[in-house]
Structure 1
Amino acid sequence: MADGGLPNTALVLLLTVLIGWVSTALAEQTRGPVGILVVLGCAQLLTHLALSELLVGHGAHVAPTYDGLAMTTAHVVATVLTALILARAEVALLAVAASVRLLLPILWRPAPIPAAAPLPTITLPQGSTLVVSVLVPKVLGLRGPPLPS
């Protein structure tokens, strides 16, 4: 419709992925309608230039048969409307994320930690402290490397 040719599909896919990747990385750094409008406008301009001038070259050889002002106006209107819709979606998504974050402690409480079993107590008969003081050092001897090491 805009007097363009059919570009190479593999190159179009590569450029689309590249422009989309860079635009997404930039979009993560911006907030609000102005930032979205700038990123979206630059991405659309780069895509248009890549498709029209680099891949097909429809403006270099023949006089255009389309109205340039109408095409530019359509691009600007579409970009502004898309930026406004995305800005409203961003606000709604942030509100939903905040609500979910408030509900998470209620929905996913950590499981209670069971109380540890009490340690058994050993009651020794009267006068057996000597036996304990003699047996304990032999059982709990010094730890270390072997002598011939």
Structure 2
Amino acid sequence: MSENILTAKTIELGADFSSKEEAIRYVGAMLRDQGYVNDEYIGEMLEREEVTSTYMGNYVAIPHGTEAAKKDVLETGLAVVTVPDGVDFGGGNIVKLLIGIAGKGNEHLEILSQIAIVCSEEENIDTILNADSKEEILSLFNEVN
């Protein structure tokens, strides 16, 4: 994975949210603050969640914008947030790992496949959720290359 797609600045350990909306806004703001997206993208992430849940199973959600949000992506990037106490994404789906995506063009497809590789192993999710440092998470995602 490219060095500038996921950085220590876009990883947050031990966050706490009272709602999925709050969690999605937080992840979106991380992407915005690092220059990956403009402010409108956050609204598109919330809209995507209304259309279809970004909950993937195994305590993982991958919030991202709608197809129309492509215009609001400035650069491809990821944000990873751990939520030890979990946040309810509806229907009893508890999320402890949020991976926000902003993909320029079709780059989101490659990123999704890399995330799928990492998250298909339950032990990798446990490693991320129990990470003591951002570097542990970075190295896990960088191993996918």
**TM-score, length-normalised on structure 2?**
0.24
Which structure has greater strand proportion?
2
**TM-score, length-normalised on structure 1?**
0.23
Which structure has greater helix proportion?
1
